Amino acid sequence: MKKVLFLILVLFFVLKTKSQTYIPMLNSYAEWHVTTCFFGCLTDKYYTIGDTTFKGHTYKFLDQFHYNKNFVIREDTSLQRIYMRIPGSATDTSEWLLYDFKLNVNDTMTLFNPGSPFPTNPGKFVLDSIILKPLLAKSYRHFYLHSIDTIASGVKNTVWVEGIGSFCLINTPGAPPKINGAGSLSCFFNSGIHEYQNLDSISSCLSVYPLSVIEKTLNQTLVKIKSNPVSDKLQIISSDFELDGLKIEIQNLIGNTIKHQEYSKFIDVSSLPVGMYFARFYMNQTLYSIKFIKY
């Protein structure tokens, strides 16, 4: 009788885990805090901001990311997958599939850690288990995987959390957290809600992007870029302000101004190398900074 009851409880838990409604990662605003400790601790805070359409898909920019500031990320909620692209790089022929949250136990998947300090091609991993665990606001599915080739991957195991990603960096599905290395996830916010924290090395989790600011930014329609990405002509449009004559500067991702001119209908960016840039200008005592992709 006890064995039957045990099997029923196990079956109930498995079915509950399988039927858990998918928790999106990028449906609105996501913010990760990753802490590294050597001689003292430093926490990098990065977040999604803005949308761009690139090669038929809508991506989000990842702002303030420490290791690689030139990639975009997207989510396919129907497939429950997270993808990444590095525009303008030698590998920009396709996307990197980072996470597949439709995997079943014993499924095998080739993982990648693009644009990170870990091996880019750690090889194949096997999904050992999926466990539903409570975090701060709700329960998340945790995916436990092991590496088939530990020499190529440099690791034995890794863990994903649906709706959050890796416990290390967002682009390291094939690597565990390393507090004395690439870092360990300390805090996570989704749509302004505090969802996860690990206070082993920090004292508290404070969002760098208050929800009121998030909503103002995401709903900003006063000034925008007509087409993003752009090939040769950058057009900035507004139904509220006169743009002609504004002094526009183009900056690269490390803050260097590489072009500036007075705006008149468009800005010629055909000579710029492929990559990401900021168009910046002052208007009504406000600094506007819009990120765009040149392809």
273: domain CATH number?
2.60.40.1930
Domain that holds residue 226: 221-294
Strands 30-38 and 40-54, sheet pairing: antiparallel
Pair 98, 201 in one domain: yes
Count up the domains in the chain and report the number.
2
The reply to whether 90 and 70 lie within a common domain is: yes
Six-digit token string for 17: 């885990």
Mean pLDDT by 10-residue block, N- to C-terminus, for the chain (295 residues)? 49 52 90 94 90 86 79 95 84 84 98 94 98 93 98 96 97 96 94 90 87 72 86 89 87 83 91 90 78 90
In this structure, are 184 and 241 located in the same domain? Answer: no
| Sequence-separated (6 or more) residues with CB below 8 Å from residue 239 | none
pLDDT of the residue at 92 = 64
Same domain, 76 and 195: yes
Residue 10: predicted pLDDT: 47
- Residues 69, 178 within the same domain: yes
Q: End of a domain among 215, 245, 264?
A: 215
Residues 180 and 279 in one domain: no
Residue 214 CA from chain centroid, whole number: 16
Cα–Cα dist 146/137, whole Å:
28
Same structural domain for residues 71 and 158? yes
pLDDT at 12: 47
Q: Across the strands, what pairs with 82? A: 75, 99
The values of phi and psi at residue 278, to 5°, are -115, 135
- On whether both 229 and 288 belong to a single domain, the answer is yes
Please enumerate in sequence order all residues whose Cβ is within 8 A of that of 170, keeping only pairs 6 or more positions apart, or say none: 32, 46, 62, 65, 73, 98
Q: Which of 181, 215, 249 is the last residue of a domain?
A: 215
Same domain, 142 and 271: no
Same domain, 230 and 209: no
Q: Return the pLDDT at 7.
A: 47
**pLDDT of 6:** 47
Question: Are 59 and 169 members of one domain?
Answer: yes
Domain end, chosen from 185, 215, 245, is at 215
